[in-house]
Structure 1
Amino acid sequence: MTDLRHTLLLASLVFCGGAMAQAPAANATSKFHPWQAAAPRLTAEAYFTNLEDGDKIETPYVLKFGLSGGWGLAPIAQPGGRKSGHHHLLVNRDLPLNFKEALPFNDQYIHFGKGQMETVLTLEPGTYTLRMLLADQNHLPHFVYSKPATITVTKKNPTDPKTLSVKGVGMMVDGPVVRNPFRVQFHASALNVAHRSQRLPDTGHFRLTVTPASGAPAVMEFDDGQTEVWLAPPAGSYSLKLELLDNTAAGKLLTEPATASVRVQ
């Protein structure tokens, strides 16, 4: 089989796949704000944020992934909440036939048990089918996964994969001008996301501050490891600030915030 070496890493954002777990009526952050909206899709999914079916890429390639439907990331060091798990990348593998069996550890089932949101692919030139799958701390799959993406690696470059790891956070909005509801996707590079209640060293949870042109800002903390939110604020212009807060030290930031601006019609 083609060489499937790859190095774990973390960097920035964003495309959507498919999947199959029932989503809650609204994103289940621990501090729900009235501007938060129900996701328009009825299913939860793990997805690639920067890769689509049919893409041609060169490696090393920073592959990024997200999680929808109110689900959150939880490292395997200890149990997270009911709607939580960690990402897995399946390489040239279909979904498991038995979701009551733990996923194996090999080059075709790549585990991200620390709460990572990206990896660096170092695949050799060739055609591959990739899929994301969420599983619990015992590596038992959830019914939260992506559609398969068949991609072609056209070239493998001599770039050192370690040089592609840049610590930081980023976010993606549907555009500078949006209509309600709109999605804000979060990303952590070279950093791990976890439930705040797990209190694990070297992990954090996201906080999003949405500030209108006039009036009080809306502050939303995603204590349960969520990596996106749907919003429906009143029409107007807003500035967004995304932070990753340390799960072991109250108020401490793990990196510099990311910012964006959006106008809601």
Structure 2
Amino acid sequence: MKTMHPTRFVCLLAACLATSAQASPLPRTDAERTCWQRYTRERTRLDLKELTAVSFTNLRSGYRVRSPFLVEFGIKGMGVVPAGKALPGTGHHHILVNTRMPPSVSEKLPFNDGHRHFGKGQTFAVLDLPPGRHTLRLLFADHEHRPYFVFSPEISVEVTGKRSAEPLKIDPASFEASCASWYQDELARPRGPGEWVTVTNVRDGEALVSPFTLQFGVEGFGVCAKGQTADRTGHFMLDVLRDGRVVQALDLSNGATQANVFVPVGSYQIRLRFVDGKTQRDLLPPHEQGVVVTAQERL
């Protein structure tokens, strides 16, 4: 019998272990779980006000954060394509940092600290800003960096100081205030290094009200809608399963980075894939997690 080389065995074992990406668990302590789930509906409620919009999905005006901090991008009604790639109905994100809206939509956005460009199709950024109040606005622009009339409200965040490895804690004696501080810091905490695809606004096993919105993020690759090609890019695909059967399947080949899910009460498995636009081949191990739908809301 032929013996497998140890290196080959390790490689095969690693490939097996990487068949799916590990989902973020719910917070570990009772106080943190209670605090996190207090805001679940805010993070997942469908926004039916505007058909086309961009938003910061993890930040709200008035948040207090430590730096560096995570900034996640949301887009609906349009898709993402890297800069330099013309495709109708698509564009890429920019953050205006302590900067007013450009006076003209016909002029290209400049490249400077006030105009942060994410032309590789990124779904998030990590900003490192000095202590103090800062204004942020998300602006969507075309392949030549000319802005669309698609932008978020301006928000302000207060940078309280440098981020340390020590997380903030919730004090039961002052739960309301310490919960808000912990939650804001938790949403703004940068994720670990590496290449991954993930659901950004929901944790594994979280209780949800249907219908709900899922937000997606990817690191190491950019998003590119089908109809264009760019190196190290792909698009999202979502399967919602119940008892091993797919009950909702979405191919977000238009470059979308979020999806609305409509399902009855019950337990579900979410499978998020990031695939090559031509071959539908997985570019990263799929992300899998459970959710529990506890109620349905009338729209």
> TM-score, with normalisation over the residues of structure 1?
0.75
Distance 2:213 2:56 in 1: 15
Q: Deviations over 1:132-179 (max 9, x none)?
A: 0000001111121111111122213589xx995332122134993444
Which one has the bigger helix percentage?
2
CA contact (8 A) 2:269 2:288 kept: no
Partner-residue secondary structure (3-state), 1:196: coil
Distance 2:132 2:73 in 1: 22
Identical counterparts, % of pairs: 34
Shift in CA distance, 40/264, structure 1 to aligned 2, threshold 3 Å: farther
- Quote the residue 2:182 is aligned against: none
Shift in CA distance, 166/55, structure 1 to aligned 2, threshold 3 Å: farther
- Quote the residue 1:244 is aligned against: 274
Shift in CA distance, 188/215, structure 1 to aligned 2, threshold 3 Å: closer
Shift in CA distance, 218/157, structure 1 to aligned 2, threshold 3 Å: closer
Q: Which runs of 5+ in 1 are unaligned?
A: 1-11, 16-37
Specify which of 116, 133, 137 is matched with residue 127 of structure 1: 133
CA contact (8 A) 1:62 1:164 kept: no
- Quote the residue 2:78 is aligned against: 71
Distance 1:217 1:158 in 2: 42
Shift in CA distance, 142/122, structure 1 to aligned 2, threshold 3 Å: same
Specify which of 191, 194, 213 is matched with residue 166 of structure 1: 194
1:32-181 → structure 2 map (5 Å cutoff): 40-68=48-76, 70-80=77-87, 82-156=88-162, 164-171=192-199, 172-173=201-202, 176-181=206-211
> TM-score, with normalisation over the residues of structure 2?
0.67
Partner-residue secondary structure (3-state), 1:207: strand
- Quote the residue 2:251 is aligned against: 221
Which one has the bigger strand percentage?
1
Establish whether residue 200 from structure 1 lines up as the match of residue 230 from structure 2: yes
What is the deviation of 1:83?
A: 1.9
Partner-residue secondary structure (3-state), 1:101: coil
What is the deviation of 1:260?
A: 3.0
Count of aligned positions: 226
Q: Which runs of 5+ in 2 are unaligned?
A: 1-23, 25-38, 40-45, 166-189
CA contact (8 A) 1:173 1:182 kept: no
Larger radius of gyration: 2
CA contact (8 A) 2:271 2:286 kept: no
CA contact (8 A) 2:142 2:148 kept: yes
What is the deviation of 1:187?
A: 1.4
